[in-house]
Amino acid sequence: MNSSELVEAISQLRKEKNAVIMAHYYQTGDIQDIADFIGDSLALAQQASKTDADIIVLCGVHFMGETAKIICPDKKVLVPDINAGCSLADSCPADEFEKFVKAHPDHTVISYVNTSAAVKALTDIVVTSTNAKKIVDQLPIDEKIIFGPDRNLGGYINSVTGRNMLLWDGACHVHEQFSAEAIIELKNTHKDAVVLAHPECKSVVLKLADVVGSTQALLNYAVKNPDKKYIVATESGILHEMRKRCPDTEFIPVPPEVSEGGVGCMCNECKYMRLNTMQKIYDCLLNETNEINVDPEVAAKAIIPIKRMLQMS
Ligand code: 13P
Ligand code: SF4
């Protein structure tokens, strides 16, 4: 099938099967364009809690599919490529996290949504990068808190809330790669540009940013201020929606795209997110394969901190 036939075939199948296609902003443009709903990880979880579809095709990574399945246990949740993992979630194995939690029994456990269901089951409150500050701010100032697994997001939340949360030492392989040097170089060339950075970036990068926020927050800022020029330090998939919503605005990814047919390093692409393709969406919807299932005992524990997040955000 060529690409327009694939679009047509996916739309047909989605109607026949009462399926909804949800895509994270880090998916390729063609997937974002065919999705019924695009969003960051909080929005995808919120949308899953509202849908009346029988099948959710979650175009994102495995933990996002698990979160949707935990929220909607009666629905079939499919992920186009079952190997779409997350280096950040992998940096926090549940058995090691459990030891860490047990070693600090008087601490409230906050976990970023980028974790396995088993880690969520050890957690008191799940957060995303959109709501982490808002949720931490709702806890008493003297509350002892463990924050996992992203040390950069945790450090950033500590700095903006005045907390001293105990941080798990995990990170995302994409956001860790953005360097202060690359941003300084771009700032020197584009002196009038505003630097947008995701809080999963290292603190040296965040110090150079004018706006730090979740994927959704960075997009919202650009949409509200289309007359500026932007240096974007997050996964490059977000540029698709930024350019669609602000067609006359210049967005410069970190590291910059190589023009004139050159090949860029592409280190600002999440190799897991990019495993999903249009063909794989079609195949998984047709055959109802790559279904996400979560152990019911784990799911029964993991739903509690996810519901808390949805209430507090
Ligand atoms: P968001 O919460 O901004 O969607 O981030 C998810 C993610 O995987 C970032 O790398
Ligand atoms: Fe995980 Fe990083 Fe990919 Fe996000 S960009 S899904 S945190 S590996």
pLDDT score of 99: 98
**110 and 156 housed in the same domain:** yes
**12 and 36 housed in the same domain:** yes
pLDDT tens for each residue of 168-188: 999 999 999 999 999 999 999
Q: Is the pLDDT of residue 290 over 70?
A: yes
- For ligand 1, the distance from its centroid to the CA atom of residue 127, given in whole angstroms, is 11
pLDDT score of 246: 98
Above pLDDT 70, what percent of the chain? 97
Question: 3-state class of 249 per DSSP?
Answer: coil
**182 and 264 housed in the same domain:** yes
Question: What is the CATH number for 308?
Answer: 3.40.50.10800
Q: How many domains does the chain have?
A: 3
**181 and 259 housed in the same domain:** yes
Q: Is the CB of 92 under 6 A from ligand 2?
A: no
**146 and 95 housed in the same domain:** yes
**101 and 69 housed in the same domain:** no
Above pLDDT 90, what percent of the chain? 95
Residue 187: give the domain boundaries. Answer: 175-269
pLDDT tens for each residue of 16-35: 999 999 999 999 999 999 99
Q: What is the pTM of this model?
A: 0.94
What's the pLDDT band for 62 if we cut at 50, 70, 90?
Answer: very high
Tracing tokens 């047919």 back to the chain, one arrives at: 261
**158 and 228 housed in the same domain:** no
Spatial distance between the Cα atoms of 288 and 310, rounded to a whole number of angstroms: 28
pLDDT score of 260: 43
Q: Is the pLDDT of residue 264 over 70?
A: no
Report residue 8 as tokens: 């047509």
**160 and 302 housed in the same domain:** yes
Q: Which atom of ligand 1 is nearest to the CA of 216?
A: 3
**208 and 189 housed in the same domain:** yes
Give me the mean pLDDT over the 278-289 stretch.
98
**46 and 62 housed in the same domain:** yes
Give me the mean pLDDT over the 146-159 stretch.
98
Q: Is the CB of 174 under 6 A from ligand 2?
A: yes
Q: Which atom of ligand 1 is nearest to the CA of 114?
A: 8
pLDDT tens for each residue of 94-123: 999 999 999 999 999 999 999 999 999 999
**288 and 302 housed in the same domain:** no
215 or 259, which is more confident: 215
Q: Is the CB of 200 under 6 A from ligand 1?
A: yes
Residue 86 near residue 133 (C-beta atoms within 8 A): no
**205 and 66 housed in the same domain:** no
| 232 DSSP 8-state letter | E
CA-proximal residue: ligand 1, atom 6 (nearest): 41
Nearest CA among 137, 108, 114, 143 for reference residue 127 = 114
Tracing tokens 């909607």 back to the chain, one arrives at: 72
**154 Cβ partners below 8 Å, 6+ apart?**
147, 148, 165, 167, 168
Q: Is the pLDDT of residue 265 over 80?
A: no
Q: How far apart are the first and last CA of the chain?
A: 42
